A and B are shown apart, each in its own frame.
With several copies, the nearest count.
Chain A
């Protein structure tokens, strides 16, 4: 039973206002095609999560779609602080989002707990800091500090997270949803498997037999997946290992644009609202910057050694 559809269809059918979304990526493989589509469709009051958020989260916040953020970090990396994130928190533009603050250990552990059906998980960080003194919408359930029933030592427990929908971008998937990834993983596997539904965006849809040639690369099995979308260049301006490099120049342009509210909206108009889909986005990119710069992002040819699973 094929689950192949367009990003437009996937977001329209499976992302609702008020949903809790896990959005994968870690510089590596942000599902930008889907993020732009969420903005175009104006999904509202979202709760969003991922360890180490970046330009994609900043953009969703600037577009006014985010109510709550379960996060650890939001920055534009080499370009500095997230402008929309700052404006939201410091000035309430377009509105002040609520932030529940964790760390790059505790948050992926909470997603792992969610993916493994654990109610909570002990973590060894956060104690003794102001991260324990601030609690937002999760209130008293942000964490619990207990004496370990084994040795009496103070032990921090953080709750499992189970997002409504996970959106990830991977190298390849089959039409049923079996999704394969290699290279830097971030919290993509635990985040996707913690969710009730998974939308898989990928560089290429491959035959089920291709999946079966190397099944240890699969991070999400078909039965968790509700939609499969083929979106080449779908992580730009982030990268996908083996497909294309990070577009540092474009990242800088986003930072420059998002320095002001007007610049941010002009950016959204040009790259999101006036663009129907990722094909048009890529075409616009090539028209604006030239085929040379586009081609330059393409990954070199450097393949791994094949392995065999035969007996």
Chain B
């Protein structure tokens, strides 16, 4: 299964990287899979008072099985609030109450722009993707957006084919010029090889840490732009014993997370 010390698999490491971005009392908008796992690791470790919400209308759910969608039946009973889409996207997200959002996409570029609309030309796409859904407003309005991506030259891009969700757009203050709220935007890209953190001035994703077993050179080779290396670049801290215990004993005893290995997260 895994050659990593501590016996972890890459999706577990990535989920822990996400968890560490969440502070106690943060309000976090989550989807399914990784984001939910990350947020729940945080809740069970250093951020017990973090509040999770799903865009469908749910706050602080107590699901008894892993939710397979943000509208999953298991999110209803036990939640602190079950309202509607506008309660979450309008009253909480647009009004500036959401600290952390998670996003992923078929393409992510160096400014953290995300494409979930179409690969190729919009009018005659090679692949028609689902569209924005909640991604654009989360990327526009959450204080910190964490982007999950596979680290290869197909998923990462110098420029996405279609900007569905704004990162730093074309960098250097573009968000502010467009009128997006201050102190919002992508925080980092968590890939299967590294954490790329955004330079808030230039808007570019730069290498902050490489996961155990990966090298800076390998990462540069697999990044389709001239990747800047942060001064304090270092190896990503592997999952702690406690984090792994939370994942395996509490959150995911059936190891559903291993499905991400099949999707290339190795």
In their complex, do chains A and B touch, with some C-beta pair under 8 Å?
yes
Q: Is there a chain A Cβ closer than 8 Å to B46's Cβ?
A: no
Contact between chains at A74 and B179 (CB < 8 Å): no
How close is B199's CB to chain A, nearest CB, in angstroms? 18
A143-166 to B contact mask, C-beta < 8 Å, 1/0 = 000000000011110000000000
Contact between chains at B137 and A104 (CB < 8 Å): yes
Q: Is there a chain B Cβ closer than 8 Å to A186's Cβ?
A: yes
Contact between chains at A129 and B165 (CB < 8 Å): yes
Contact between chains at A193 and B95 (CB < 8 Å): yes
Q: Which residues of B contact A82 (CB under 8 A)?
A: 130
Number of interface residues of A (CB under 8 A): 82
Q: Is there a chain B Cβ closer than 8 Å to A246's Cβ?
A: yes
Contact between chains at A130 and B68 (CB < 8 Å): no
Contact between chains at A72 and B165 (CB < 8 Å): no
How long is the Cα–Cα vector from A128 to B167 in the complex, in angstroms?
9
Known contacts: A124-B94, A128-B180, A245-B73. The answer to whether A104 contacts B80 by CB under 8 A is: no
For residues 124 through 140 of chain B, which have their beta carbon under 8 Å from a beta carbon of chain A?
125-137, 140
Q: Which residues of B contact A241 (CB under 8 A)?
A: 73, 76
Contact between chains at B82 and A27 (CB < 8 Å): no
Q: Is there a chain A Cβ closer than 8 Å to B233's Cβ?
A: no
Number of A-B contacts (CB under 8 A): 252
For residues 97 through 146 of chain B, which have their beta carbon under 8 Å from a beta carbon of chain A?
97, 113, 117-118, 122, 125-137, 140-141
How close is B159's CB to chain A, nearest CB, in angstroms? 11
How close is A280's CB to chain B, nearest CB, in angstroms? 25
B-binding residues in A (CB < 8 A):
1, 26-28, 51-52, 71-75, 77-78, 81-82, 85-86, 89-90, 99, 101-106, 108-109, 112, 114-118, 123-131, 134, 153-156, 174, 176, 178, 182-190, 193, 208-209, 211-213, 215-216, 218, 221-224, 239, 241, 245-246, 248, 302, 309-311
A-binding residues in B (CB < 8 A):
25, 27, 32, 49, 51, 55-60, 62, 68-87, 89-97, 113, 117-118, 122, 125-137, 140-141, 162-166, 169, 174-175, 178-181
Q: A28-B56, A126-B140 are in contact. List 4 more A-B contacts (CB 8 A).
A: A73-B134, A112-B90, A124-B140, A216-B83
